[in-house]
Each structure stands twice: as C-alpha cells, then as structure tokens.
Structure 1
C-alpha cells in the first residue's frame, strides 16, 4: 500500500495506510509537511491507536522538527491515549510511521495547520503572561492574581478564610487603584473563647462616610450559626475608622464592594486575636468584666468602688478599674500580608495542616497554589506529608510540588516532588517555608495532606540589625513544653563577634539549675567555654563572644514549666581587654565581674550605658 508524501499547504489531513481499518504490517511511511514562512506546523489528533510498548520499539509515529532524518525529535508515539497537540519551531516537519510484522491496530488520523505564535508580538495585550494555543492565545496571571473579565488584565485574587492568630489583608491591587465591579469577602475565625481586633492602617475609598452607597467596606460579627451578631459599620471615604474594631464573637466578616466607576487606592488592615477572659465566670469579677487587648478589667456599678483585690466591689463614691493581667505579646514578626483568597495561603501559626485543592477528591486541572509558612523567630518549620498522590513523571514535568527554604520561589530549593511516594520530612533552615503546587491540563490524582510543626534551634546568621529568638513557638500565649532540648548557633562574619541580650527570662528555679536551664557557650566546638548556666526569673547579662560564634542551649525536664525567654542578637565588633578570671557556676546569681583594661573601658561603658551588664570572654 502506498503511503507517505509531500504536503505544501496551510492545512491538511494525514492518516495511516488502510484507515479507518487496521493499518498494514511492515509499513514505513514518511510525510514531509511545509507551511508558509513565519509560521510553524501544528498537529491535532482525532484518532490514535498503535501497538503499545514502553519505548515504542514495535509500531510508532515519529515527529521531527524539520525535514532531515536527523532533525530533532519532537515526539515518538504509540499506545492508545490520544496525544496532546504537537508544534514545530519552524515551518517544516517530518512525520514517519513504522509498523512491524505482528500486531495491528486502528491506527491514526491527524490534521496539520499553519500556526503563528501570537505571544511573540507586542500587541497581545496580556498583563502578566501570554500562552500560545493552536490558532490563538490566552492570557494567564502570576500566582496570587486572577484574570479580569476582559481576559487580559490581572488583578489580586481577593477574599478568603483567614485562620491565623494574627495577619493582614488589603484591597485588590493595593497600594494601586482597586478594580471596578469587585466583591470580596474575608472571614476571620478565631478559637471559640477569643475575640478579633481589626485595625485599618490605610483607608481611601470612593464616597463620604455619611453616604457609603458606591464603594465600601462593611464589618460584621457572625455567630456560630452564621447569622449576623453585630454590624460594626459600613465605611468609605478617606478617613479610616478611628477606633480598634473588636468582634462580638469569634468570627469576623469583612466585605469589600466596588461599583463600575471611581477607583481609589483602597485599604490595608491588620488583625490579631486575643482570649476573652470575661467569657468564663465573668473573669472572676463580682459585677462588670470588660475584655481588653491581652487583659481584662473589673469594674463596679454606680455607687460602688473596686476593692484592692481588683475583683470585688464595695460601697463608695469613686468608680475605678484595675487592669488584672496582661498576657498578649504583639510582636513585629506578625506583620506580613495575609492570604488574599483564591489559592494563596499565609500560614503564620506554630503548627497546622494543609491539603491540596479539593482534597480528598482529585485536585483540579490547571491549578496553581502557594503556601507561605512563617513561624516564630528562632524556630524552623518541619513539613510531614501524611498522604501523597500526584501524577508521576521522571522529571515531575506535569503535576508537582516545589518546596523552597524561604519566603518565595527565589529561595533555595528543598526539592520537587510528584508520584505516589510521600517525601521524607522537610525541614527549613529558618522560620519561613514556601510551597508551590502546580497541576497541568490532563491527569488528576487525589493530591496530598500534610502537617507542619515548629522546631526549635538551628544555625542563625547574625547581622548588624537586631534579631530575636524565642524559647518556644507559642511564646506569650503558653508556657514552654516539658522535655525540651534546643540549641541555637549564632554566626557572625569572620573577625566579628556575636552579642546577645536577654529581654525576658522565666524558667523553673532550682539552686543548681539542674531541671530547666539555659547555657551559653563561647564557640561551637566540644571544648568551647561555657559562659554560664541560668534558670529562675533573674535575667542573665549581656554576652559577647570572643570569636564569630556563640551557642545557646535550652533544656527542660518533664515536670514544671514556665513562661520562657526572649533574647536579641546582633553582629558586633570584637571587644578586646574584657577577660573573665573563671566561669560562673550554674546559678541564678549574676556572673563574676570582668577584668577591664583601660583601652577597652570607654567602649565597655558605652555598651552598658543602658544598664546592661556584659559577660564577655
């Protein structure tokens, strides 16, 4: 049977010999396809069934990028699955069909057309990405954005569930103009006995506060059944609410609506959660309990005054309140962008879980998701996959998970994963981790389920700006746990020193510090000098290393726990002439005074002007 030939045309159809019946054995057919200059050859399959083999060595259909026998191979196909579309890089393509002497199948039928890459022009109009398709093109957006209704512009994906203890949110495109015809809803959910505090740091919407009918932000508290418990306000104009919004329940809803006309820069807001101490037993107050940020106050009704115990009331003329406690630590490390909805997540809790989109059902096609994990400074993030099933490929070219040791895809890679086998435990080197999930347009699988936890210790690079280390990831909210063993190695540049200063310190107290304690070492070797062991609630002094390394070790036994500690660290110039005559023993007492020569005295006094006592080896 005659087969093969030359095609010089804009389009055409090619089929195997004897089509639509089984192809003939021992075939070897070659077609040469040529389309006009400035175009490429595109192949679209309508039928495909060849003898199956892993390496396609029996019957196969081969496409080469050019007319020569040694032109680059685009694809070598066999089996029963309809192939994806194929495209050359030039206006020429060589197609070869080979069958052996045994098994025959239905064969193939495909069309070829001339194809032009519209994305190579400058007038495609795509805001972010242009993706060429056969006979056309489409626009796509970077992760965290969504395509506008015009099919070309990209805008921030908006709305979503915010479950972190602290976080932030902004209007789409902030600080640039927000888009028209937008409706975004953020749901902030805290633990049942907690309240949510919302503070607007920027506010610029169309309208005036007395008439918010065009663009507005509406804030409501929602009860356990999903009904509105309280409307806190509907806001617009250029003046942000001049007060801290406090939720009535543990669920706060923020709704942002824009019309079809005027655009402004929008809004930015931060939120944090705090336990409502008045929720249980009225906070122990005899009459009135008022929840505050990190605390609560007892107050008395008219005609009564508060007793010295801060809880009970007695008859009197002057009404006053006593702040009972202050528990909340609002720290700088909670000030980042919260999730903007869609498939972009900011996870800023010490531990939690995550799943692929749609889990436990199959994940969707053409999906891109990112998870940005941030935990407490001085701690690392460990990722454990409980279930893992992603489309397999030798190079994970189709569906995959990419993990990065930092805050974005620009950070060092910790691996690319796909297939049915779950990765081993993944551990970051710092307090941030970034995970990217991608699925293509074909095969779907169940996806993944993973847990993440915070792990103390690690190696930290000291810089000229002050950094902080916390004893445990939930510092300020709960005591450290039992059976803790943490070690931090602080590194400065060669020729420099590391300086640390404890700002908070509260461990189990014992005269010899045998139970819970912190040890400081001048260096990272086994023979490094121990500068002291500390416990109790007396704050250790300032330490400066003699070299570029300082090591901090924290141990806790299995009984009593306490609030923990915080220390700040910074790279500093070496201090000469400060020598300790002996190591201080394990105690809650301050260490021995250093011997200070005259040369170093001025610098020593300057460092301790704020009342800090140094311990320098």
Structure 2
C-alpha cells in the first residue's frame, strides 16, 4: 500500500507494489508507533529509488518533527539509528573514513586522497540525545579538487578541478609549489587513468621555473600531449591552468616531488694556477688563470650544467711551464736537488742550485700504473736499458669525459713476434684494439676515442730489448650531430658525446619510425650508430589508452589522396569513448571519417564526419570504437581527433516496438533501470515485457526487445483455450490475449475446468467486450479446484493472461460456448 499506520514491537514497511517498481507521482506517509517506554530502531534491508525520488524519516508523528535523514538513489549500507547508535557513515568520494564505530561518544575522522581538499569537518562525534535518537554533531564532509593552492610539502599531487570527471569552463587556476631552499622540484607525468587531456589549443597548462609568470617557462601543454619529466632549477614552481568557454576534457593528474639540487663537484685547481669563483650551483661560472711563466691549456671558464647529475661543461685546465721538463731515467744536474719526484712515466725535477756539485740519479720506470694527467710519458721498465723477461704491465690513462688520448712513440724495440705492446680503446683488456706492435719498427701516432685508454706490454722469458718510450696528450673529442629539432616528438638526454645515448619519443597520435635509442659512436669522426628516427602520423593503428589524439595521415601536412585508414580505440571495461574533432577540414562528402560504436563495422554507427567544421563530438556505449578515414583521388585536407575514456552510466534509449507503448519512470536510463513494453489493444506481447539497463561488454538494455503480434481471434460458436505450454507449466514473463467473438445477439459462457497459477502475480483477466478497456468480468489468480462458470452480456470477450518472472504452474483449461 501507499502509506499506512504501523504499531507493535516489530514490522516491515514496503514501497508500493514491492518487489515491482513503484508508480510515479505518489506521496505516501507511513506512521510507526510503539509503546512510550521504547524508541524506534529502523534498518533498511533494501533501498533503490530514482535520484529525484526520496524517502524522509522524521523523529516524531508528522512532517513537522525533526528530520533524521533523507535518502535517494541506491544504498548498499543504509543508515541505521537508535538512542545509542548514530547512523552509519559512508566514506567520502575520493577520500577515506578513519573509524568504524558509530556508537554514542565515538569519533569518526576523514581525510582525502592526494590532490583533493576536505570541505567540511575533519572529524564528527556521535552524541546521545535524551529521549531521542543519537545523532552526529556535524554533516559528512566531501573531497573536492581545489582550483589553485600553495603547496609546501616535499611531494604532492595536483589535479585539474573535478578530476577524474571533466573540468569546467572558464577556469583560471594557479598552483604555487615552494619547498625548502636548496631543493629543486621534479614535476612528472602521472601514470594514471586520463593523466592529461585538455581541449587542444584552447585549454592549456603552463609551468614556470619560479614563483610567478615572470620566471622561465618550462612548457605549455594542451591536447593530449602530457608533460614529460620536468626539472626546476630553483625551489619554486608556478602552474597556471586556464580554460575557455566551450569544450572540456578529462583534465590532468600531476605528481611532484623534491630532489636535492646537488652542486657541481669542486673543480681541481691546476698546479701553478689560480681559481676565481666559489659558487658551484647550476649556471655558476668559475674562471682560471696561471701564475707568471705558465701557459693555460684548456678552457679558462667552466660552467655548472643543469641536469639530474651536476657536472662542469669542461674539465679544469692545466698550467704548463714554458719549458716542459724532459723525463728520463738518468738525470744529471748541478747543485743539491730541492725536490725529487719519481713517477711511473719518468722523473720531473724542481730544484735551486746551491753549489756546483754534480749529482747523477738513476731511476727505473715502473711496470704499469694509472695516469690522470692530460699529458705524460710512459717508459718500458729499464728503459733505455733492456726490459726484464716475463713482464705483464698495464698502464691505464684516465682523462676527463669528452677527451681522448693522442699517443706518439719516440722509441720502440722489442723481440719480434714474442714481446708485444697493445693499445686499447677503453678501460678493459677486452676493449677494442687500436694497435698491436712488436719488433723494431716505430709505430705510427695513435688516437683513442674514449676518455679511458689501456696500454698493455708483455714479454716472454727469452731475448730482451730496450723497449719503448711514448708520450700521450689529451685532445678534446667532438660531439655527435645535434638531433634537434625533432618534429612531433621529444628527445630524452642532451649529451651527445662519445658513448652517450639519447632516446626519442613521439607525442601522442604519432608513431616512431626508426630506432628509438641512438648511441654516439667512438671514433675520430663522431656519428650516431643509426640514422635519426622520425615521428609520423600513421594511416591507422590500434590504440589502447585512456586518452589520446588521432591525426590525419602525415599531419601537420595535408593527408594523401586515395587513403583508407582504420583505427581501433580500446579503453578499460566499464568505460565508453568520447571523441571530439578539434580540427576538421576535409573535402566535403567524398573525404570522410566514419565512427562505429564497437570494434567492427556491423556495430551501430556513431556518425560520419566530413567538410570544414570543428567541435564535432560523439559518445560510445562500448569500450571500443572503430574509426575509418577515406579520401578520394582529388582534394586533400587534415583533421585532429581527441578522445578520452569516460565511465558509462546511462544506456541509449530502448528500441521502439511497433504497436506498443513504452512505460518507464523517466527518460534517464541509468544502470539498473527497467522499462516495460505494453501492446496496444488487439495485440499480444511476445518476448520480454521488461528490459533492464546493464553493463556487460557495453552499456545497453539486456535481451532483445519484444514484439506485438495480433491477438488470436476465436469466431467458432464453441472451443477450448489453454494456457501456453499446457498441460506443462506455463513460461514466465508472458502477456497473451484472446478475443472470442460470436454472432449477435448471442452471448458467451465460460467454463473454467482447471486453473493453477502463482497467486497475485500470474493472472487471467476476462473483459466483457473486445478489449482490455471493456468492463472487467472476472480476474482469476491462484488455485481453483472447482469448475467456475461466467457468462458475458455482449457477443465478445477479451481474455488477457500475464505472468511475472518468478514461479510458474500448470495454468488453465477453459471451454466456451455461444448461447
């Protein structure tokens, strides 16, 4: 019933027509009264209404009492209350509830997911109210996305307003990120559903490397081109998001984190040199000069380069004396040496003469070692005497990155084919061989093409010779060719030296043609190991993403003639695809883009787009969309199509059934809603009377629609009518009708010999006339064990049999005759 009076210690209240849908346009009042020593405790076992239909609970005998709750929609955990128990508290959308105890005195706290702001109380408390139900001291808060904010945490999240739902129009949002001095900010693309999607060219996010819009701009992003990894050079970032008055999109999700802004390492001051400058942050410059009598070799100014790894753009220089000492194993000088240094490469003296004494010093070269100088001398052990047998000596020359070694031999003599000297281009004995030498012929000058060079000398046990004397000098290696600009894509890493690798990636909507990673090869003439790749707008491909862009082939150039391209867009299950053209300029009619609501061309078509328009859009009910582009042999053009996934909520309108009317609560067909078909008089419904909006492979009304067939008409003066399937049980969900017509002035007598049906739900109605609008003669339901007789007042009878979706029984057998 619609409303009623209830008393007693317990009971059940049902909506009108439950478990079937209630009727629209009703206002029902239910009054529950218990003894004065009790209070009422109510709990909903099931609750589902349309969003504009509500149930209100008042703490008293009428609507003037205090409102306890107002409920609408679908609820799986419906509030319950008592004098010591507050109503259950749901978790806020995009947040969480902390605490699950709802008794009097309990406190429940709330917090939002990263990027959301709590609007309302952070905590609510359940209060016991004398002679009334317990209640919370405040309403439940919500989590919203703020349009602007000041962020000071070392890591955080920035979302477009409304995320993950589309943002609004005419927005002007500003976020300022400021962290502890000395830390940079790293803003990176979020790997989330719909991480970045705005209206192309109209809605944009600008990021500045500082505290306001006067700082250097790190980038401006629009469409579905998500920001790459961005690094600030200060402790502030400024983000500005603005939208226009028209199309909106899914928005963005950015994560930022702070990283320590490390300084460049303190540069080495060259011997006999002077360094000017003691700040080693990004873009700081340090200069060098030499003391009188020395010449600067290298760069006089070096700068600290930006990047995740701080380094100077050049190695520190050297200060070289006008006369370079000539190292030799035998040194003769006059006077007492002030200082004597021996090294693996020979000897360098620095002394002041105090007398005319002659001192002879003999120093033997070492077998191997590591050398860091930009120039030096290497001698075989014992040089200029013979080297010993069974030697295995390795010298490693380690120069700054970006430099190679120029090796020149001054002397060379080894046992031919038995004692060898090898020079290798790299740090290992397995590195590439530059040259291997044996005998008495002086080797040619050599060039290593890395900053690490290995020199390996070994001798056997037999004949020995004087060995070798060589010098090396560092020389600056050239970089490989700069790959910029890289149209329709971007390059990761900006170091183009020997051994360095760079990675190429394309913007969404383009595919990479060629090798994605290139390495600068070693060698005197620098070149990359593969040709530069390119980003092309392809003629069709499969796309699996939450958002993206599809360009016409060869965009931004005009598309070629005679093209037939197919793209298949796939988004996660439970989502549809929203597409909109931000640019559409094709030859009208003959060049077109067709879109289907599904993965193949036999699915319903969402539209055919052609001509010179923009802002065309369509929504799919499937998680896949097929797009076909066709161009003829003449005029060209171009188009840009953006897409993003959106959560499916509503079914498309149900199909129209001929000779039937559609009965529904409203035109808003959401998941779980049902519609009912009712045939016009003279027709019988065949198939499912009700269709339900469900989400399976795509969002649609489940099961095929019914049909309405003309009623079976009986014109004989006597006959038998049986329920469908008789004598077996009748089917569920059926509506059947019969018309019995005899010649006037005869009337019709009905003899019900057997009748069994589900009481109240499966019913046979008999009308005294030609249709269901005629006067009702009798309605039969349940079990009837005795024969029933009825007689019409006219020469026609209309019988209507309807069953629900549940229990079924044998049905009926009816005889009729004209009188």
TM-score range, shorter chain: under 0.3
TM-score under structure 1 normalisation?
Answer: 0.27
Higher RCO structure (Cα 8 Å, ≥6 apart): 1
Instruction: Tell which structure's C-alpha radius of gyration is larger.
Output: 2
TM-score under structure 2 normalisation?
Answer: 0.21
